[in-house]
Structures are given as structure tokens and as C-alpha cells.
A and B are shown apart, each in its own frame.
Chain A
């Protein structure tokens, strides 16, 4: 029976070949030359492919990636805008961030910018890199009437290159510290004992918590530099100087951060896990008493519905003896970019400006999904003052919007990902016993090497 099936299938294949096999070898050379003769083969999707941005006068194509989060936000924005512009429509294509980056790189490098959509969402950390590498792929939004002064300054700065605005800020990556109040209580602490504190306080109290409950205060992914970057930004520090040159050696702020991190690991107050799933697991499994991360981590914490009411939110510790140190920082977040392929820049700018950059109604509509604004007026609305039962009845959203306004901005520089990875290597070695200065020297050399094209 199975043999018959197989041979039937193969016979079909044989026939198909004589048709397709010869056909495709005849068509393929055309693909290389100009593509005119290949037209019959391409009926399938050529219209969308050639110009996805030009479907209709009032339609914009958008790439973004999370149905529960930014896709939902875009669709809500569409509804808000349609009230005044009934003809307006969006075509939202779900595209993971990795794919947006790959598609942007591929399209821009091969000179096929017409394959890009009108608008896409971009990770803030990658904004400078992409605008500087592919200036032709972006539209300058500076003088399109969007009021960028209404956004948290640290946030808006991510998408500014040479004084020009290339992005409309979207979600908030403001850092929060979350604690399990019940575990702290067992050690004799309340959340107030962890508010507006320094890292040395944190380590001292963390040791007590560890001793009394056996639980570390903090977990993070080994080989990632998120915690380092958050600490560094909270002091207003950067891996680069104002000219964009790597500044890791002789960087007192960075050195202080590295020392604190090594101390955290040594004392056991911070436990390193190997990947993201184990990190989320450590929160949901009660193996740690708290975490420090961008405010979007709340969604993962709330995955464990049985822990409702046991968590509380406050600000992160600050570094001692460092100029400009604060209790506020940022990790993650993204902004909307308009591509150069957008045929109707005016429409795109007006849409973004009057929704993400001008509608508190929009932000009220999406707050239930955890999408917190960096558009400062949104923080004053009633929706933001609503208590959150999971986090001990606190008005968490309002709190985070306040934190956002106090966050120092981050000079990511163009080579931010290189620097992050180099510092991750350095901290791994420091934790294993290496010396901070020499490891920072190696990191500096690695980044300088990458920059020396």
C-alpha cells in the first residue's frame, strides 16, 4: 500500500519535472537580468511585493510584532484616527523584530527600498545604528508638526540623530524594582526599606533576606549585560563619549557598576541563570524575592496569577559616590519610524502625531495591555491613577510615568550592540575572578576593533 503511494507520488513528480524543471531553468536566467521575461511566473504576489507602501491613498502599511501589545496599540490608534478621517485604514503585518531588522538590512543593502512598508516599529537600542547605516531608508520627522517635547526626554533621545527626529516614541522601558512583600516581611523588611536606597543598602539588606529566607533578591541572565546597562544609564553614563568613541577604560561610572555587579554575585544576592525562560521561571517559581527590569516585565510577573497582591513596585537602587547617580533608568522600549518608501509622508506624520503623539484617549485604551506611555500628558489621566490589585493596590502606571520623566538619557552610540556584548564578556570574566580594569581594556579594544572598519 505504502509502496504504491510512494510510487504514485514519485510518478507525478517525474511528470512535473519535465514541465517545471525545464521551465524554471529557462525562467531563472531572466531573474538575473532584468526580470521582464519572468513576469508570467510572478503573478502570485508581485503587486504587493513591488510597492507594499502604495496600496491606496489613505492606507498605510505597518510592521510590528506583538499581537497583545504593539499590534493592538496600532489598531487602537487606527480607530482613534478614523473618527476624524473615515477613509483612513491601516494594513498591519505581524513581523517579529528580528525579521524587521533582517528585512530592513537586506532591502537597504541591496537597494530595494521599495519593499519596505510605510511605518515600522524599531527597538530603541537599534535606532541610531540603523539610521546612520541606512540614512536613505528613513524619513526625517523633525518639521512634520509632531510635538516631540511632550515625550519623556530620555525616551525621545533614542531616535534623534544629528539633531533630527526620526522616530515617534512608543512603549515605555522605564526600570522598576519589583519585590515580593511576603518574602521581605519574613526577613523583617517592607517595600519602603527598598525605596530610594543605594546599592550598598541593597546588598546589605539582600544578605539578610538571603540568610533568613534562602532567596536571592535578584536574578538575571548570565552573559547578558541588561543589569549593567540599567545601572550605567541610571548614572547618566555611557559606553561612549560625546564624539561616539568607545569610553570604557577610565570610565569611573562603568567601573563602579562592574564592581557592584561582581559584589552582587559574590554575596549571592544576585543569582545568574542561563536563559530568559529560567529568568521568568525564577520569578514565577518564587525562587527569588524580586527583580529589577524594564516595566514591561510586569506582564511576565502577572503570569503567576496566584501571586496577586504579593508584589510591590518601587524605584531601583542608585550607585554611591558617582556623579549624576539616580534611582531611575530604562531598559528596552521601541519607537515608530517612517520609511523613505512612504508615499504620503504627510499622512503618516499626521497619523502618528495625532495618536501616539497627541491622544491621551489612545493611551487610556491600551493601558490594560500594559502599554505605558512615554507621552507625558497621558500620565495625568484617570486611567493611570487606577490601583493595580496584583501589585498591592498601587497606582503603578502613574508611578512609572513619573519615573520615566526622571530617567537620565542614554547615549547609545552607533556601536551599542557591540559594546553591550563586549561588556557582557568582560563581566562574565570579572565574575569568574578576572580584574575589572584589564577586562574593560579588552572590551574597549574589541569595540575599537569593530569600529575600525
Chain B
């Protein structure tokens, strides 16, 4: 009896939390189908203005190129970043000693200064290196992040050391252990890291806004900023733009969530 009650309580709680979480997204989707003035007037139900909003959005903004750019930057950044940071996180944990723990602490400092303070020196470097308006310019500062390194370091902690020993006895090289043992075992961590890194790269705004000076290299968040400038905002088209900008992250999450939330770990043990 108590068990049933508890179950009911759990479903109820999760439903309420989910509803609260999803409401603004619903509103965004509904607003994308309404006329600007109706959005402002607080209409909550979906309307019939989607096609007009779409036409209007496409006429004032280059959605196609911005989407392509955003995907390009985010995918390249995510893949490179996962490899560089997981290698480092693994290295910090598996081969840890006093010096490496110290280095880890120093690396953490890199995320503690607001970006506004380091942006100008960074811009100077990138401008002299002719990296403005380029994919490399976009991704270089966000490939290696203390956050991801630490995330992999922390999860490497639960990677059983006897597996490593066994693999060494079997004659596997160190890099081989990383690729053949650690990497498949830690799929849930990789999936979670992938989701988060993709999202951060996709939403990155301040840096591209400084280094992208060419209309053909703009990203989706920049496109949305363009829509909100000016004396009047077309809220219908804006919300459609915002919606299009949100969807990729949601899809990535939905596809990957099974991988990071439903244990695969057991396979190795």
C-alpha cells in the first residue's frame, strides 16, 4: 500500500516538475504560430500564423547559412573537445601524482575569470593570427575546458584499476587501454559530455559575436540577436527563430539520453 502511494507520489512529482520545465518551450512553440501582436497580448494557444512567420523570418534572416554554420562549429568543436579533454581527464586520474593534482588545480583557475576580461587579449591574438571569421577561430578557445577535463577526471575515478592491470598483463599499450578499455566503458560519460559540449558550443555567443565580422559566418544565436535589435520586434518570427535554434540541442539530448542514463557499464565488469 505504502509502496503504491510512494509510486503515485513519485509520478505526480515528476509530472509536475516536467510540466514546469516544459512550459516555456511550449509557449515558445505556440508563439511561433501567432502574430506578433497576439504574442505581446499574451495569447497562449497555438495560432495559424506559422507560415507567415516562416516567410517573414526567411526574408529578413539567413536561417540556412546560420544553421549550417552553427552545426559545423558545434560538431567540430564537440568532437575535438571530447577527445582532447577525455585524454587529459584520464591522464590526470589514472596516472595521478602530487604534481598532476597540482596542475589540475591550476587548470581549474582558467574558468574562474569572467570571459569579458580575457576577451580583448584573446581577440588581439586571434586577429594577428588571421583567425577571424574562421571555424578554427571559433573552436580554438573552447576545445579544452577545465570543466570537461574535470568531468572525465572525476568519472575516471570509478574506472576499476584491476581492468587496467589486467590489460597491461595482456600486453596492451597505455594508449590501447584508453581506447579499448576506458572509452567503451565510459560511454555514459561520453554521451553526457557530448550533450553538454554540443549545447555550450551551439549557444556560444559572446566570442563569435566578437570574431565573426562577415555575414556569411554568423551563427544561430547571432541571428536571434539580430532579430531582437531595432525599434520593433516581430515576436512571432523571433519565437520561430528561437524555436529553430533550440530544437537541435533537444534532439541531441533525446537521442543520447538513453546512452548516458541506462547503464552499459556492466558489460566490462
Contact = CB atoms under 8 A, between A and B. Distances in A.
A322 interface: no
A93 B215 contact: yes
A27 B126 CA distance: 12
A49 B133 contact: yes
Contacts of B140: 24, 28, 31
B21 interface: no
A388 to B, nearest CB: 16
Interface stretch (B8-16, B34-42, B156-164, B240-248): B34-42
Contacts of B210: 102-103, 106
Nearest to B215: A93
Interface string A81-109: 00000000000011011110011011101
B133 A48 contact: yes
Interface string B227-269: 0111110010000000000000000000110110000100000
A184 B264 CA distance: 71
Contacts of A49: 127, 130-134, 213-214
Contact of B60 (A68, A93, A277): A68
Determine the main DSSP class of B at the interface with A.
helix
A31 B134 CA distance: 14
Interface in A357-396: 370
Contacts of A20: 80
A13 interface: yes
Interface in B133-184: 133-136, 140, 143, 179, 183-184
A451 interface: no
A242 interface: no
B120 interface: yes
Contacts of A297: 231
Contacts of B214: 45, 48-49, 52, 93
A66 B231 contact: yes
Interface string B24-37: 00000000000011
A284 B209 CA distance: 33
B82 interface: yes
Nearest to B36: A303
A38 interface: yes
Contacts of A94: 215, 226
Contacts of A450: none
Nearest to B62: A94
B131 A42 contact: yes
Interface in A272-326: 277, 280-281, 284-285, 296-297, 299-300, 303-305
Contacts of B131: 31, 38, 41-42, 46, 49
B119 interface: yes
Contact of A3 (B83, B123, B135, B187): B187
Interface in B96-143: 119-121, 123-136, 140, 143
A28 B41 CA distance: 51
A299 B232 contact: yes
Nearest to A20: B80
B54 interface: no
Contacts of B41: 281, 284-285
B38 to A, nearest CB: 9
B50 interface: no
Nearest to A296: B231
A50 B130 contact: yes
Nearest to B82: A13
B51 interface: no
Contact of A48 (B80, B126, B143, B213): B213
Contacts of B40: 277, 280-281, 284-285, 303
Contacts of A45: 132-134, 214, 217
Contacts of A12: 79
B225 interface: yes
B87 A17 contact: yes
A105 B36 CA distance: 34
A65 B66 CA distance: 17
A17 B36 contact: no
B191 interface: yes
A135 interface: no
A50 B235 CA distance: 36
Contacts of A97: 229
Contacts of B184: 7
A304 B37 contact: yes
B94 interface: no
Contact of B129 (A30, A69, A115): A30
B190 interface: yes
Interface string A253-289: 0000000000000000000000001001100110000
> Which of A39, A49, A300 lies at the interface centre, i.e. has the most chain B CB atoms within 10 A of its CB?
A49
A14 interface: yes
A3 B127 contact: no
Contacts of A48: 133, 213-214
B134 A44 contact: yes
A303 B232 contact: yes
Nearest to B126: A31
Nearest to A294: B231
B129 A98 contact: no
A17 B84 contact: yes
B42 A281 contact: yes
B79 A106 contact: no
A432 interface: no
Contact of B231 (A50, A102, A107, A300): A300
Interface in A1-54: 2-3, 5-7, 9-10, 12-14, 16-17, 20-21, 24, 27-28, 30-32, 34-35, 38-39, 41-42, 44-46, 48-50, 52
23 contacts: A2-B255, A2-B258, A2-B259, A5-B255, A6-B187, A10-B183, A13-B80, A13-B83, A14-B83, A30-B129, A31-B140, A34-B128, A42-B136, A45-B133, A45-B217, A46-B131, A52-B214, A66-B230, A94-B215, A96-B225, A105-B120, A110-B127, A284-B37
Given A3-B187, A44-B136, A93-B213, 8 more contacts: A10-B190, A10-B194, A30-B129, A46-B132, A48-B133, A94-B226, A96-B226, A299-B232
Interface of B: 36-37, 40-42, 60-61, 79-80, 82-84, 87, 119-121, 123-136, 140, 143, 179, 183-184, 187, 190-191, 194, 209-210, 213-215, 217, 222, 225-226, 228-232, 235, 255-256, 258-259, 264
**In the complex, the 4 A-B pairs of residues with the closest C-beta atoms, listed nearest first:** A45-B133, A17-B83, A66-B230, A49-B132
